[in-house]
Amino acid sequence: MFDWLWIVLVAVAVLLVVIFAIMLWTAKRSVTKARARVDEAWDEIRGHVQRRGELVAQVEGVLRGRAGHESGALMELEAARGEALTAEKPSTLSRAENRLQTALRKAFHVAEGYPELQTDREFLELRSELSESENKVQASRRFYNGSVREFNAKTKTFPSSLMTKGEQEREFFDAADRAAIAEPPRIQF
């Protein structure tokens, strides 16, 4: 009878170890998938920021052709665009976004002073594309922040926390000026 009890205890212990190993393996896969989603979402943001940077450069070109003497606003726009394109971290890009939104507003304010831009088809199309691009950046921001929230939660909860020792939380991509980000720059003619 003692032999049967010993066999049952060993079987239960082995079963518990197997279950715990499966939990750890599942947790590691879950964290790996969450990390990949965060990285994918960040790459998507970078792609949209790159595309928007190209559109901003085109806006700069149109404005330089028509309002070249407004170099202060255009230089500010160019610097803000460069800062956004070179940002490597969400916190850096957040600051660059705020600066770019402000520079775009100033550039569009300058454009309002030139009636020929009100009917310039190229400029109106650029404005529309820029608005669409801003919407894509915002949608990507929401997806990224959701992915970061999920990843950070997984790194703090058991059993995933056992697999992520030393893993740093990911930064959220928050806007310093939420009002500037919520409303993409628009020109009202």
What pLDDT is recorded for position 46? 95
Average pLDDT, whole number, for the chain? 86
What span, in angstroms and rounded, lies between the C-alpha atoms of 180 and 177?
5
pLDDT tens-digit series, residues 72-83: 888 899 999 999
Instruction: State how far the Cα of 171 lies from the Cα of 39, in Å rounded to an integer.
Output: 12
- At 173, is the secondary structure helix, strand, or coil? coil
Q: Would you state the pLDDT for residue 92?
A: 92
Portion of the chain with pLDDT greater than 70, in percent:
90
pTM, to two decimals: 0.79
Per-residue model confidence as pLDDT tens digits over 106-142: 888 888 888 887 788 888 899 899 999 999 999 999 9
Say which residue, 152 or 110, is predicted with more confidence: 152
The arithmetic mean of pLDDT across residues 2-13, rounded, is: 90
Over range 132-157, report the average pLDDT. 93
Structure confidence by residue, pLDDT tens digits, 38-68: 999 999 999 999 999 999 999 888 888 877 6
| Mean pLDDT in residue range 133-161 | 91
Helices 2-67, 71-86: crossing angle, 10 deg rounding: 160
Query: CA triplet 92, 143, 150: central angle to 5 degrees?
Result: 95
> What is the structure's pLDDT at 82?
94
- Indicate the Cα dihedral angle 154, 33, 168, 50, nearest 10°: -130
Domain segments of the chain as ranges: 44-182
**pLDDT value for 156:** 86
| Residue 17: both structure tokens together | 């170890």
Q: CATH number for the 44-182 domain, one of 1.10.3720.10, 1.20.1440.20, 3.40.50.11740, 3.30.110.60? A: 1.20.1440.20
pLDDT of res. 176: 59
pLDDT recorded at residue 1: 60
Q: What is the per-residue pLDDT for 43?
A: 96
- Helices (H) and strands (E) counted in the chain, each on its own, are 7, 0
| pLDDT reported for residue 187 | 45
- If phi > 0 it is left, if psi is from -120 to 50 it is alpha, else beta; for residue 118 that is alpha
